[in-house]
A and B are shown apart, each in its own frame.
Chain A
Amino acid sequence: MTHENKLIEVTDLKVSFYHESGKLQVVRGFDMSVEKGKIIGILGESGSGKTVSATSILKLEEDDVSSIDSGEVIFKGLNLMELSESELRKIRGNRISYIFQNASSALNPFKSIGKQLTEVLKNHKLAFSKELVLQALVEVGIEDTETVYDMYPFQLSGGQNQRIMIAQCIISRPDLLIADEPTSSIDASLRKIVLDLLKEINKKNNMSIIIITHDFDVAKYLCDRLVIMYGGLVVEEGPLNEIFANPFHPYTKELIVCAGSLKKGDEIVYTLEGSPPSPFEFADECPFAKRCKVRLPECTSEIPRTLEISGRKVRCIRYEKR
């Protein structure tokens, strides 16, 4: 893993939200890097800080709502944290595209599909032509592209709109695509198709993708590497296969058992007691300590440091001892 290979590298990102009675840190330590042409999954439950981490990379959160307390985001040698808003605008949607969770509302209902896609190119001062748009439509698996070009979003099915959304994000040929829960608002029967599409785009264009998801199956199906978040912290990071074969962090282990249990058809589903901590409950301790079955007394004394073990990272006090 050489430095040149890294498309984007995030180190020690901390993000806070303003709250009635002060500031609340929701991301307390986020590190990740994306190599060119890889799919990285950020896996975490609600309140783990996965979405905020991803949006903060592009400084998408409003200034009066949140603040980035620390961190460095190096994208192709540029530190995004130091760029001005206008410079960032040149990167957003152009070099880095973002698919939001409620994708269907991102399309303008009053503009034809062709127009909307052309606009993306125009906005970023890229060369535009109908051919480019039609090509993008083909890439996302739309048949009869000529007809669709003149249609409006309401004339298309949910699945087709999802594809248009993706087309909108890839038409500018970005280096990185960030997809936040791309399958959560679509039907089960379509899920696999959309995921396959993303996989295909990744392969064809050598486009890096960050997938933000809470669904273990999605991550497993799609990703090369995984970043597992819990309580505003990255608790484990590493190649997907290795993590599945040999999870380090107790949380990862539990999660894998949980997800497997329902599928296996256990009469009583294996569960993890309690619920993930909300940012209000964050303290200087291992966030998972309360639910951890192999907890040590030291777990609650401080936030564990990130340890590197054979190219993987884990944030657990147990590995420090070895």
Chain B
Amino acid sequence: MKKNNLPLILGSVVLVIILLVMLFPQMFVDQSPYTIQHMRFTHESGKLAVERAPFPPSKDNFLGNDHLGRDILSYIIYGTRMTISLGVLIAIGQFLLAIPMALIAGFGNRIAKSVIIQSSVIFSAIPALLIAIILLKLDFFVELDKQKSAIAFILVLTSVSWARLSGLILERVEAILTQPFIRGEVATGKKHIKIAMENVMPHLAPELIVLFFMEIARNLSMMMQLGIFAVFVGNLGLINDATAGVPINLEISFEPEWASMLSTSRTVISTAPWAILYPALAFFISVLGFNLFGEGLRIALQKKDSRAVLVFRKLINLDFKYIWKNSEAKSKNTILMWTFGVIFVIGLFSWVNHEDYSIRFGDESLKLPEDVVIGTESAINTANYIASKMSQIGIEPMEGKNYLIGYDIGPSYLIESQIFKLNILGKPIEFEKDLDYAFMTSGDINETGPIYDATHEDLFNTQDFSRFEDHYVMIDKAYYNDGAIASFVDNISRNARIKGVLLVARKDEVIGNVIVHASEDLAVLLISREVLDKLSEYPDSSITISTAVKPIDSIGNNVVGIFQGADKNIGDEAIVIGMNYNYLESSNKNVLDFNLKLMEKLCSLDSNKRSIIFMFLDGTINEAQHGIHYIAQDFPYSSQKVQVYIDLTGIESSMFEKVEFSTAQAPITRPFAWSLGHHLDKELIKKGFEVQQLETLFVGGEYVFTASEADNALFWNRGMPTIIIGTVKAEQNTQTLEELGSIILEVINKNNY
């Protein structure tokens, strides 16, 4: 009686589903696993109600959310890849160790045999689980990054469980070696290794294959148990709560993985049982699937005279030519059909799934000016062009009808030429602009004078200003904040006729300027610390400065628009993207083109749940006139609803070597921004970008960027979590914007589901 191999069929169905989920997780859920929805607003009977995660299963979150606000379903789906791969890799590790050892021992090597026996005795006396917990809980393992952590995980679990497997295989090998035909093979003069490969392995194969799948199942359940003990790959072990004096760790993995879900949610099992039930169910189904498949295979492989064995022997002896040559026409067709079938299905899936994230720019039809500088005519034209583009795409203005939000930058000049030199007898030292110094305030000036070094003076309590008379006053910014500096400069210039002010830049402060505040009689320069050293070497020498300036309009224009989110719940939450539209060199107009295309593309993706606010900031080439400062003071949207600010103003070149990137102002307390940041980080590294972190200071529990005040503007003024992406100019330009853009697009899109 022919019976259907039910276990094999059921097992294969489960495994095929698992495989598809692993390959194409995006097919199964439309939410990104990195998406975090911590709070939810509902309008019930006209009242605004706020709910906090964990949310029970609902229409939107099919399996509910955990207490961190992560969608369980998408986390499980995306976690499949990591979890199952780990199970499989551990099994592979075990077999790679167990089979050769068992074969060597089977052929009478005493050392190998006693290693197997002793190891399995040790690991059966002390449960492997216990050893794994102890080892993997060591700080050494906990502190490893994801990849190393995964490797450590695999190594530890392999080494605690291979011996038992090897013992099983050894038993079989010994049984096979007592079979009568082995005597025949030896009598023919066959070498041991050949007997092992050609005679023992084929007899072992059915059991090995079955064992392999059973081992995977075993490993998965081991991982599940470890998860309950808070041992999993990429364990962050963040301190969640230390109020009672005892630090309570929030065991969380930054990577979707099932075991970590069990661990993270075990504290809320009574209030949110779904958060632990469904990951456990996922484990259960896969364990069952692998076991069923293994069992089914055993039934199939136990059939006598199976041709599969012949193929297997050739396979392990790497004789592919033989397999092809000796398969009959019918099976050849079957093989071909299957191959094409599999390729077709995979192709179909990837085609259906492929959201096009590529960005093409450098469009010649776009007539962009050669340079765009704040206050100039080209800036106004460009701003209007961007506004028209926005209205074309369907981006609405923020307030009223105007996309352009103007701000007063005061009377300003564009510097056309500038000189700053130290007059030493014989050979004056000429400093280099935008490296050694930069004008902040100036008019058309050409003057020489001595320096008064006030870097070591207490400027707060100055009464007598006469000593500054006719000098260039040098002040160290490191000791004061910006407000203090501004008042000193104002005070000194009003009380004494000074020639100018030299401000010594703070460490890491960017020096460079094209636009200066208009002032015919006072020059303010920012100088580097190297210049300070140079000037201190020659305290009695005079300096000469000269500039030629051109007046510009005193109005800057930020072009701001909002693309309304589609979701009724979270539609008014916003992702803010800041971009620049000023540039000096014509080659960089590509960046503007890129920014426009990025905006267009983001709006064309069909999944925008949250609103996206696009800000094209004016004056980005100059710290003082940077549009961000003005918009930060009067932000046209509720700051609370802004989930993240993505600062792309640092993208200044279409070709670059490294990416400047920081999520320091997207802390874990701001989950959406935090997860988006991690997602970006992961993608950047995956795509091979060299990432350079921005320098920060740690102040009062938060980070401050030191390079530019503009970087801090929205976080420190408005409390918006900020992610900064920029480019680093270098000699070699190996990376392109297209690539970076597609990552940004993909990450924003996936997180905005």
Contacts and interface: CB of A to CB of B under 8 A. Distances in A.
A/B touching: CB–CB < 8 A: yes
Interface string A246-287: 000000000000000000000000000000000000000000
Contacts of B304: 20
Nearest to A23: B1
B307 interface: no
Contacts of B2: 20-22
A22 B3 CA distance: 10
Which of A20, A22, A23 has most B Cβ within 10 Å? A20
Nearest to A20: B303
Contacts of A20: 2, 303-304
Interface in B1-16: 1-2
A21 B2 CA distance: 5
A18 B2 CA distance: 10
Interface in B424-467: none
A63 to B, nearest CB: 13
A18 B3 CA distance: 12
A20 to B, nearest CB: 6
Contacts of B303: 20
A255 B304 CA distance: 33
Contacts of A22: 1-2
Nearest to B305: A20
A41 B2 CA distance: 37
**Chain A interface size range:** under 10
Nearest to B303: A20
Interface in B267-306: 303-304
Interface string B202-221: 00000000000000000000
Contacts of B1: 18, 22-23
A278 to B, nearest CB: 14
Interface in B632-677: none
B298 to A, nearest CB: 15
Contacts of A23: 1
Nearest to B2: A21
B23 to A, nearest CB: 35
B465 to A, nearest CB: 108
A159 to B, nearest CB: 26
A275 B303 CA distance: 25
Contacts of A18: 1
A20 B300 CA distance: 11
A20 B1 CA distance: 6
Interface in A1-31: 18, 20-23
A187 to B, nearest CB: 21
Contacts of A21: 2
A22 B2 CA distance: 6
A240 B521 CA distance: 142
Interface string B1-44: 11000000000000000000000000000000000000000000
A269 B675 CA distance: 88
A313 B385 CA distance: 112
A73 to B, nearest CB: 26
A281 to B, nearest CB: 16
A20 B5 CA distance: 12
Nearest to B302: A20
B6 to A, nearest CB: 16
Nearest to A21: B2
A234 to B, nearest CB: 28
Interface in A79-111: none
B8 to A, nearest CB: 15
A20 B305 CA distance: 12
Which of B1, B303, B304 has most A Cβ within 10 Å? B1
Interface in B299-350: 303-304
A102 B109 CA distance: 35
B210 to A, nearest CB: 18
B302 to A, nearest CB: 10
A23 B1 CA distance: 7
A21 B304 CA distance: 12
Interface in B479-520: none
Nearest to A18: B1
A20 B304 CA distance: 9
A98 to B, nearest CB: 28
A12 B412 CA distance: 119
A304 to B, nearest CB: 31
Interface string B57-68: 000000000000
A12 to B, nearest CB: 24
A22 B1 CA distance: 4
A194 to B, nearest CB: 27
A20 B3 CA distance: 9
A142 B593 CA distance: 109
A251 B1 CA distance: 34
A310 B2 CA distance: 46
A22 B304 CA distance: 15
B306 to A, nearest CB: 11
B5 to A, nearest CB: 11
Interface of A: 18, 20-23
User: Closest 6 CB pairs between A and B?
Assistant: A21-B2, A20-B303, A18-B1, A22-B1, A22-B2, A20-B2
Given A20-B2, A20-B303, A20-B304, 4 more contacts: A18-B1, A22-B1, A22-B2, A23-B1
8 contacts: A18-B1, A20-B2, A20-B303, A20-B304, A21-B2, A22-B1, A22-B2, A23-B1
